[in-house]
Amino acid sequence: MIKDFQYSVQETIKIKKKLLNKKFIIIINKIINEIYLTIKNGNKVYICGNGGSAADAQHLATEFLVRLNPKKNRKAYPLICLSGDPTYLTACGNDFGFVNIFKRSLEAVGKKKDLLITLSTSGNSKNIIKVIKIAKKLQLKTVAFIGNSGGKSKGLSDIDIIIPSRNVARIQETHMFLGHNILNEVEKKLIKLNN
């Protein structure tokens, strides 16, 4: 058990160190800027993920709707999770197919110049691919957090951030690490703008 634990710690450190590469820094700054400009300009950000990534999407949306930093009281920012309502998800999955769960809700609320963020460890989730395609049709900007080689989602979004790992747990941990850091930077910029 100790060897497995040590390996996991070393693996996560190795992945995090790769994020310091200039290529990743440029992508991270682009994502920060897209989220900031979307909210600054009065538009909304939507987020969704499949499986465990659905919980990560809910978590990140909550950080922005409530607050990320407990010492900073500020207004709620519109980061809305498309995978947070089990009644809707089960009804839509039953009536229109699980592949359409995010697509259908985005069709109802998404507007031109809004932003869609997707989370998928494999990049192959059919419901994620469908929602990215409808977002492009509705003229939303898109950001994809994916892993491994990017899967079928790679290249569909305006910005891809691909975590170089085949380990689902490490990919999800890194998505959350990035999500927290990106939203922290966006929050700082928005607070500064409103002061």
Which tokens in the block code for residue 193?
């703008």
pLDDT, tens digit (0-9, with 9 covering 90-100), for 53-99: 999 999 999 999 988 888 888 889 999 999 888 899 999 999 999 99
Cα 35 from Cα 143, distance rounded (Å): 10
CATH code of the domain in which 37 resides:
3.40.50.10490
pLDDT at 23: 95
pTM of the predicted structure, to 2 decimals: 0.95
Give the total number of structural domains in the chain.
1
CA neighbor of 134 nearest in space, from 126, 122, 145, 146: 126
Q: Report pLDDT digits (tens) over 120-160.
A: 999 999 999 999 999 999 999 999 999 999 999 999 999 99
